[in-house]
Amino acid sequence: MSTWIQIAVTIVASVLASSGLWAFVLKKSEQNDTKNDLLVGIAHDRIRWLGLQYMERGYITPDEYENLHDYLYVPYAKRGGNGSAKKIMEEVNKLPMKEN
């Protein structure tokens, strides 16, 4: 039995030490970083565009606010978005709320 354990440990150690495995792990990590950057960029663009539209119009509806704040801004901020979308949200928060 101990021979099989030694063989198993050797195989596992070899796989973990191989550069191919670590290259794969690093590649996956880079892809996740790229996807995160892309999501943050798309959310940023949408927050700015919608926020500026509402500011130009002069008011926001409750549904529009929920969509902008809860479904775009909060996840954007959690993913590491920068302060420019925060400035837009601060201005949107000052808008009067009107029903449709």
Q: Is residue 45 part of a domain?
A: yes
Question: What global pTM score does this model have?
Answer: 0.67
Q: Is residue 18 part of a domain?
A: no
60: closest CA among 17, 20, 95? 95
Q: Is residue 7 part of a domain?
A: no
Q: Is residue 3 part of a domain?
A: no
User: How many Å apart are CA 54 and CA 60, to the nearest integer?
Assistant: 6
Encoding tokens for residue 21? 């495995």
Q: Is residue 48 part of a domain?
A: yes
> Which domain range does residue 64 map to?
27-93
Question: How many structural domains is the chain composed of?
Answer: 1
Q: Is residue 84 part of a domain?
A: yes
10 has pLDDT over 80: no
Nearest-5° angle of CA 60, CA 71, CA 87? 60
- Look at residue 27 in the predicted model and tell me its pLDDT: 60
Q: Is residue 8 part of a domain?
A: no
User: Mind listing the pLDDT tens digit for each residue in 82-99?
Assistant: 788 999 999 999 999 998
